[in-house]
Structures are given as structure tokens and as C-alpha cells.
Amino acid sequence: MKAKAFPIIVKRGSASVKIYRPPLRGVDRFTIALRLDNVRKRQTFGDLEAAKTETAAATRLTNGECGARNGIVSKERTDSFTLAYSINH
């Protein structure tokens, strides 16, 4: 089986999120990177599947799919993402 080439780009609509695999003392780590409100956000995971799951949620956020029609307005969305991001770091 051929190894996956990195970075992996996950696209949904007009949004794209990259999954990187930076070298880290022989430990597998996967980092997702996206821009939200013109600020670069990064988050690190121990396995690729967890990173892929998070990219799906992140692309929905950047596309605005979690907007007012789902009961979350832009400011609340940004605050909730920032809070979730800070808890993991």
C-alpha cells in the first residue's frame, strides 16, 4: 500500500483545511491548519482519523454552515471554536 502524501487537503465548498505530518522525534503527529476570521488556527492530533474528523467540522465553520440557521451566530461560533481550541492546547 502506498503511503499517503502530506499535506492532505480536505475541501468542502470554498473552504479547505490542510493536514500536515510534521516530524516530531519519531512520534506520529498530525496537525490541521485553517484560517478563521483571518487568523491561522492549528491543532495537533495523535492519529490521522481524529484529524480528518476535525477537518470536517472546521470546514463547516469556515464555510459558515454552522451559522444563524443552526442557532449559532458568527460571534458565538468564533467564541466556541476559540474556547474548544484553547481547551485542547
Asked, for residue 15, whether it belongs to a domain, the answer is: yes
Q: What is the number of domains present in the chain?
A: 1
Instruction: Give which of 76, 77, 75, 89 is closest to 43, Cα–Cα.
Output: 89
Dist. CA 56–CA 41, nearest whole Å: 15
The pLDDT of residue 64 is 60
pLDDT of residue 52: 87
18 domain-assigned: yes
37-88 per-position pLDDT tens digit: 778 888 888 888 888 888 877 776 665 655 444 444 555 566 766 777 777 6
In a domain, 43, yes or no: yes
Instruction: State if pTM tops 0.75.
Output: no
Q: Which domain holds residue 19?
A: 8-87
**Cis peptide bond N-terminal to 23, omega within 30:** no
pLDDT at 66: 52
On whether residue 2 sits in a domain, the answer given is no
